[in-house]
Chain A
Amino acid sequence: EDKVVQSPLSLVVHEGDTVTLNCSYEVTNFRSLLWYKQEKKAPTFLFMLTSSGIEKKSGRLSSILDKKELFSILNITATQTGDSAIYLCAPSSAGYGNKLVFGAGTILRVKS
């Protein structure tokens, strides 16, 4: 059975702090790993990682994938209150439907 575990479940930090969010997975026919940010409504896409060791960056956010150890991390530096959200990790399974398997998410709250 496919399994995705995110940690921590929630955390509270102050503006300017750096945070690291973790995602470990066991997915049949793994293809890629996606990170989404969810504020009040729909999840919005952040990154797609397909190769190990290649860091993807977008401003203050960066992410890396380890396909051997089956985990990914999402780093956020110099956090801002606008980073407060649920961060969802979703490995994709190759095959019919290109399905995503979502973790429960990490709830991040950034205090000013």
Chain B
Amino acid sequence: NAGVTQTPKFRVLKTGQSMTLLCAQDMNHEYMYWYRQDPGMGLRLIHYSVGEGTTAKGEVPDGYNVSRLKKQNFLLGLESAAPSQTSVYFCASSFPRGMLDYEQYFGPGTRLTVT
């Protein structure tokens, strides 16, 4: 049981290049999330999904796109990278059990630098 995994761990892009970050979870979770973390700003939600084939915008969605074609995978795309997208990206997953809340499980993060 690997939990939540992210690929790649590190990446350096030049301005204007594109890339896709992959998140995979093996816990059969329904909900998946993409966050970015910048110094002094905590984690901010980019996009999220409540199930296969669904996506929704979070707090900071501009410049990013997502897809959830399979329940276990959640992809984050940058079509034209900008220096402002330099950050650490975390993926998380969770499954709401009835009326009880359920914590989010986080992946190890991807450190992205855009030059």
The smallest beta-carbon distance between A18 and chain B, in angstroms, is: 25
Given contacts A42-B108, A43-B90, contact A98 B42 (CB under 8 A): no
Partner of A103, one of B42, B56, B108: B42
Given contacts A96-B50, A97-B50, contact A48 B42 (CB under 8 A): no
Q: Give 1 or 0 for each of A24-67: 1 = CB within 8 Å of chain B CB.
A: 00000001101000000111110010100000000000000000
Contact A100 B48 (CB under 8 A): no
Whether A92 sits at the interface, judged by CB under 8 Å, is yes
Contact B56 A105 (CB under 8 A): no
Cα A44 to Cα B35 in complex, Å, equals 15
Whether A102 sits at the interface, judged by CB under 8 Å, is yes
Question: Nearest chain-B residue to A104 (Cβ)?
Answer: B42
Range for the number of chain B residues in contact with chain A: 20 to 34
Whether B101 sits at the interface, judged by CB under 8 Å, is yes
Contact A45 B31 (CB under 8 A): no
Given contacts A43-B43, A88-B42, contact A97 B90 (CB under 8 A): no
Cα A41 to Cα B107 in complex, Å, equals 8
Cα A50 to Cα B99 in complex, Å, equals 12
Q: Which residues of the other chain, A, contact B53 by a CB distance below 8 angstroms?
A: none
Cα A99 to Cα B109 in complex, Å, equals 19
Whether B58 sits at the interface, judged by CB under 8 Å, is yes
Contact A92 B50 (CB under 8 A): no
The smallest beta-carbon distance between A52 and chain B, in angstroms, is: 15
Q: Which residues of the other chain, A, contact B108 by a CB distance below 8 angstroms?
A: 41-42
Contact A98 B105 (CB under 8 A): no
Contact B31 A102 (CB under 8 A): no
Q: 13 A-B pairs, CB-CB below 8 angstroms?
A: A32-B101, A34-B101, A41-B108, A41-B109, A42-B107, A45-B104, A50-B101, A99-B48, A100-B43, A100-B45, A100-B104, A104-B41, A104-B42
